[in-house]
Chain A
């Protein structure tokens, strides 16, 4: 089945620890995105990547880092510099060609502080 797979589903972080969230897609999509979702709010963009080996900061990039070494993979690292990391993290992807194609989402990773 084609889709976007995020792992793990739940993740716990200790103080001062970096953690990495995985996002893999087999849809052959060009662009990939990471969002943060807090209760009662819309999605906020952390980072996005339009092509391999290139990515840009979104609205709330501080305390996060990404890489895009392969088209199908876009991992997100939540660093110790992110002081309030507890949230639901969503990965999305889309085709870039043609008219503005919508983003499609994985099922998210919930990150909590120990």
Chain B
């Protein structure tokens, strides 16, 4: 099945640093979603985006729906230890009956 290109695959950061990750697709999407997964748990929705150009924040997290509708990014400001985990992007388009297409994830690791 189709996958999104999500990068980077992993990130080693210092506490307090800002983080940026993105997803790109060859298809035009009408929805972008960002999830976070902790070990041994299910993904939790962070931000949902429905309109090209939309910029949405959730606390220290900010995500944008790209103007071309083929990409999205997620920023985390002033990272803290509980930000550690795997972040997934997912997109859908109307012709797919709103089934989600998933990125492979970005693993965020805090340097000791």
Binding site for B on A (CB under 8 A): 4, 6, 40-45, 48, 50, 58-60, 90, 92, 99-100, 102-108, 110
Contact = CB atoms under 8 A, between A and B. Distances in A.
Interface string B41-78: 11111001010000000000000000000000000000
Interface in B1-47: 1, 3-4, 6, 30-31, 33, 35, 40-45
A104 B90 CA distance: 12
Contacts of A48: 99
A102 B43 CA distance: 12
Nearest to A50: B97
Interface string B70-107: 00000000000000000010101000011110111100
Interface of B: 1, 3-4, 6, 30-31, 33, 35, 40-45, 48, 50, 88, 90, 92, 97-100, 102-105
* Residue among B99, B103, B104 having the largest count of chain A Cβ atoms under 10 Å: B99
Contact of A40 (B1, B33, B104): B104
Nearest to A59: B1
A103 B100 contact: yes
Contacts of A60: 1
A106 B43 CA distance: 8
B2 to A, nearest CB: 9
A106 B90 CA distance: 17
Nearest to B48: A102
A100 B30 contact: yes
A102 B42 contact: no
B72 to A, nearest CB: 14
Contact of B3 (A42, A92, A105, A110): A42
Contacts of B6: 42
Contacts of B33: 102-103
Contact of B45 (A4, A40, A43, A104): A104
